[in-house]
Structure 1
């Protein structure tokens, strides 16, 4: 029987997360070139890392939903989910009767479509 020690699980989790962050960075560069263009690779990766954690605080954990959340951060500001200037997305994120995907659908339709002219490939 194969046993994976806890420290090995941490390494596996870090590898999977790192690969996901790389795919989100590629997605942002491809779909939001103006918004991501001024950021270096390290800075954009760090923002994606912080975005994953921020999305999780709202119960958003599916890959595509997290990528859209991070795109919102890039377009509206990293703290759009807590910034008083963006009360509407905060209200959407707080609605318990909406699934995380539905929340991001609403926010994407309202905020991200003007930035992107088309639907992107899922990172």
Structure 2
């Protein structure tokens, strides 16, 4: 049986978080022209800060955090506390661990309905490509080294390991 010690699990978690951060830096710089001019270190700092802000709102799945970061890039890094965007703060106040995806869906819908005025489309206004949708999971948490095995697969693995 394969066993991991806590140090190995934390190293795997750190590697997973770094991979997610690098992917988000790449995606944001490709998708948003206003971000393309930033240097990598500055954008990485914004991504890390955005991940922490999302976690403070109990938004932790990769897919939801990626949408939170995209909204932060378009609406402003502090969009969740911006007095001009009270609708965002009101929606984020309703987030809990069970409804984070629904709240993020609603947040993206509201952002799409808002007229940004700067000519740049929000992530909700541009139809995401299927590949981008499949890039992140709602089940995997940012920095989780190992996702849960679906029950049917876990049962089969248990049968073969006995």
TM-score calculated relative to the size of structure 1: 0.85
1:28 aligns with 2:28: yes
The answer on whether the counterparts of 1:81 and 1:89 sit within 8 Å (CA) in structure 2 is: yes
Task: Give the count of matched residue pairs.
Answer: 122
Structure 1: distance between partners of 2:112 and 2:42: 21
> 1: distance between equivalents of 2:68 and 2:92?
11
Contact 1:72-1:112 at 8 Å conserved across structures: no
Work out whether residues 75 and 112 of structure 1, in 8 Å CA contact, stay in contact via their aligned partners in 2: no
Give, in whole Å, the separation in 1 of the partners of 2:13 and 2:112: 30
Structure ID, larger Rg:
2
Deviation at 1:112, TM superposition (A): 5.0
Consecutive unaligned residues in structure 2, runs of 5 or more: 114-120, 136-162
Residue equivalent to 2:127? 118
Q: Deviations over 1:39-61 (max 9, x none)?
A: 11111111111111111111111
- 2:61 is aligned to 62
Query: How big is each residue's C-alpha offset from its partner over 1:91-118, in whole Å with a ceiling of 9 and x where there is no partner?
Result: 0111258811111111112225833432
Rounded to whole Å, the distance in 2 between the matches of 1:46 and 1:99 is 27
Q: Which residue of 2 aligns with 1:92?
A: 91
Work out the CA distance in 2 between the residues paired with 1:79 and 1:105: 19
Provide runs of 4+ in structure 1 moved above 6 Å.
Answer: none
> Larger helix proportion, structure 1 or 2?
1
- Structure 2 SS opposite 1:95: coil
Which digits, 9 at most, give the CA deviation of each residue in 1:54-110, with x for residues without a partner? 111111111111001011111111111112121100001112588111111111122
Change (3 A) 1:39 1:101: same
